[in-house]
Structure 1
Amino acid sequence: MIHAQNLTRRFQLKNETVEAVRGIDIDIAPGEIVAFLGPNGAGKSTTLRMLTTLLPPSDGTATVAGFDVRRDPVEVRRRIGHIGQGNGSFDGLRVSEELYTQGRFYGLDRGTARARAAELLDQLDLSEQAERDVARLSGGQRRRLDIAMGLIHRPGLVFLDEPSSGLDPQSRANLLDHIRRLHRDEDVTIVLTTHYLDEADAVAERVIVIDHGTIIADGTPDQLKSKVSGDLITVTLQDPGQASAAVDVAHRIPTAHEIQPQSDGVAFRVEHGDIAMPELVRALDRAGLAMSGVQVQRPTLDDVFLNLTGRSLREED
């Protein structure tokens, strides 16, 4: 569905050349749902703008839905849906009118455009808002309308550029549910950009991590997290003055590594936190150390980014 080689984009700012995207290679198969994950300014949106023909590459080649983005941009646009960061809908129309008009722009006849609009309004829980002015929609409803507009012509490939940016947590969760359902029901390939770790983890079958305009990791969320060395166990003690003794206990746990003293306990990594827990509890008991709490955390995508770059993705935000 997407094949790109050495895709590059440079910008000239005054007397300085800025390389926003530095020669990336991408292959995305039909039916995949792929998230481009990275901090703001990493090159995610610039990459999407090149793949959607909104920005010409400085170097490299890309075919999208079977057509070259340089030679056949119109044919690419016919076959993709693109939902950008800003709202694409017009305040002066009713919701159903906006969708119908979008369908007519794509060459659908009147009957097909109305039927497809009604179908998408139902799929995206917007039927009750069909006769409401677009200007009166909530932020979450408006983003769902944007997605409906991108799907009106039944594209085989949909690009979502930070689809949940600016939404409250409940609206974000609702939108992600709709994206998963559309991927299943519409049988479309979905490419989205995000700097939300939970969003990439919850929605994407595959995550491409971009930093400073280059791809630094590519795989399923579980594959990427498996590269981080184990689960994180954090122990807090009832008596913080015994923290150094907890460090000694951690050193006696098989497979424990990256042992870090805490002000009120110790944190360390092990290969399998659930297997290590019973031995840890017994060792603390033998040492006469009373816990006030213990936490086991599986690696996150933020741990992956930290492992790859030495800094946290949250810090970038």
Structure 2
Amino acid sequence: MAGPIAEPSERSSNHPPVLSIHGLRKSFGSRHALQGVSFDLKAGERLAFLGPNGAGKTTLIRCLCGRCTPDAGTIQLLDRPIDDLGVRQAIGLVPQEIAIYPDLTTRENLTVFAKFHGLRRDALVQRVDWALRWTGLQDRASELVGGFSGGMKRRVNLACGVMHSPQVLLLDEPTVGVDPQSREKIFTMLDQLNQQGTSILLTTHHLDEAESRSDRIVIMDQGQVVADGTIGDLVRKSVGPSRMVKLRLDRPLEQAISLLPDDDGWSNNDGECVATVGQREIRLRIGDVAQQLPELLRRVKECGYDIADVEVHAPSLHHVFLHLTGRELRE
């Protein structure tokens, strides 16, 4: 496993933190769930919070929500200790489990959760009307949510978590089990909240969501933060910017061929080209696609092979995650 990458991104540093976690520790008997976790969530930021199972993510979220007391460390929310009276009212939580009442209508669910957070009279009515518009469920306001599709339930679940207009929103797998269209609708809703100033901390097992829907990424492993930065930061400081090239040939390789130039600018992670006799695929990494790919294709042609297909893959969050933790996210 690689060493930690925990420098905040330049973009994030331009904004003050709304949530600051410093030196957080929590143990359950001999199991150390959190081992000095520190990071900030900036005002108006969308932060993806990742880690393999057992990394400590759930424990951290429980500490933020008051369901778990840390052994050491501090949590500041809006420059105040999070345990101060009324401070946690600035947090909205949308759990992975759908936490709404199936035997109530959409409007009734929204009303109940608004009352839970202290809304009354005109403010309550206005917020419920806003939530129905925001979710696109005005025409389903009087229907029982128990009969809704998974995506529609997720939208109601999300709305119930923000009825009190929180400044910080904690999301635990908000798109699990939904179809692509519903997934896009949910992120459109979240983008609207973010544009209005809500800071978002998202935990997800979908690395493509984390990569495309966040401003910054924090990766935890074994109770510690091992990476903190933009996707560009993390790629540059871990796997590097080289591209993986895959060539599919017109027939299997009959003998080994030399493709590496003298300056070893082409290599896979082990410093060698993967070109196995009997296989039709050649895989290797190159640092400069514009200059080195044409030369690579020329050398293959000189060896008597035609190229049926070419793929060029940029390093992604998936490669970074494996590099840092040595594990798939769903382990």
Q: TM (normalized to structure 2)?
A: 0.86
Q: Is the deviation greater in 99-108 or in 131-140?
A: 99-108
The aligned residue for residue 223 of structure 1 is: 233
Cα deviations across residues 84-123 of structure 1 (Å, max 9, x unaligned)? 1111211121111111222122222222111111112212
Match of 1:7 among 7, 13, 24: 24
Answer yes or no: is 1:213 the counterpart of 2:230: no
Question: 1:201: how far off?
Answer: 0.7
Aligned position for 1:59: 72
Alignment check: 8 A CA contact 1:5 1:61 kept: yes
1:93-108 map, 5 Å? 93-108=104-119
What is the number of residues matched between the two proteins? 306
Q: Is the 8 A contact 2:52 2:327 kept in 1?
A: no
Q: Following the alignment from structure 1 to structure 2, what is the Cα–Cα distance between the partners of residues 93 and 22?
A: 42
Q: Which residue of 2 aligns with 1:122?
A: 133
**Alignment gaps of 5+ in structure 2:** 1-17
Query: What is the deviation of 1:275?
Result: 4.2
Q: What is the deviation of 1:254?
A: 6.5
Flag the structure with more relative contact order, 1 or 2, with Cα contacts below 8 A and sequence separation at least 6.
2
Residue-by-residue CA offset, 1:151-210 (whole Å, 9 max, x unaligned): 1111111100121223344433332333223212x3100001112211101211100011
* 1:200 paired to 2:210: yes
Distance in 1, Cα, partners of 2:188 & 2:200: 14
- In structure 1, distance between residues paired with 2:311 and 2:161: 43
Q: Say whether the 8 Å CA contact 2:106–2:143 is kept in structure 1.
A: yes
Q: What letter matches 1:297 in structure 2?
A: H
Alignment partner of 1:295 is 2:311: yes
2:42 is aligned with what amino acid? A
Instruction: Please report how far the alpha carbon of residue 287 of structure 1 lies from its aligned counterpart in structure 2 after TM superposition.
Output: 2.6
Once the two structures are TM-superposed, the CA of residue 28 in structure 1 deviates from its matched residue by 1.6
Q: Matched residue of 1:115: which SS?
A: helix
The equivalent of 2:5 in structure 1 is: none
SS of equivalent to 2:247: strand
Amino acid at match of 1:11: F
Determine the C-alpha separation between the residues in 2 that align with 1:142 and 1:124: 10
Aligned match of 1:92: 103
The residue that corresponds to 2:289 in the other structure is 273
Instruction: Provide the residue aligned with 2:8 in structure 1.
Output: none
1:239 corresponds, among 239, 251, 255, to: 251
Quote the Cα distance in structure 2 between the aligned partners of 1:242 and 1:75: 72
Q: State the Cα deviation string for residues 212-255 of structure 1 (Å, max 9, x = none).
A: 1111111111221223231111112111124622xx12446872
1:267 & 1:243 partners in 2: Cα distance? Answer: 16
Verify the 8 A CA contact 1:52 1:76 in the aligned structure 2: no
Write out per-residue CA displacement over residues 33-70 of structure 1, whole angstroms, 9 at most, x where no aligned residue. 1011112221112111112222111221111233323x
- Check if 1:191 corresponds to 2:201: yes
SS at match of 1:306: helix
Q: Distance in 2 between matches of 1:78 and 1:116?
A: 16
Is the 1:244–1:265 Cα contact (8 Å) retained in structure 2? no
Q: Structure 2 counterpart of 1:272, which letter?
A: D
> Structure 2: how far apart are the matches of 1:163 and 1:243?
51
- SS of 1:296's partner is strand
TM-score, normalised via structure 1 length = 0.90
Which residue of structure 2 lines up, in the alignment, with residue 29 of structure 1? 42
Q: Please report the RMSD computed on the Cα atoms of aligned residues, expressed in angstroms.
A: 2.0
Q: Percentage identity across aligned positions?
A: 32
**Which deviations, in whole Å up to 9, do the C-alpha atoms of 1:246-286 show, x marking residues without a partner?**
xx124468721223235323211122334432222222223
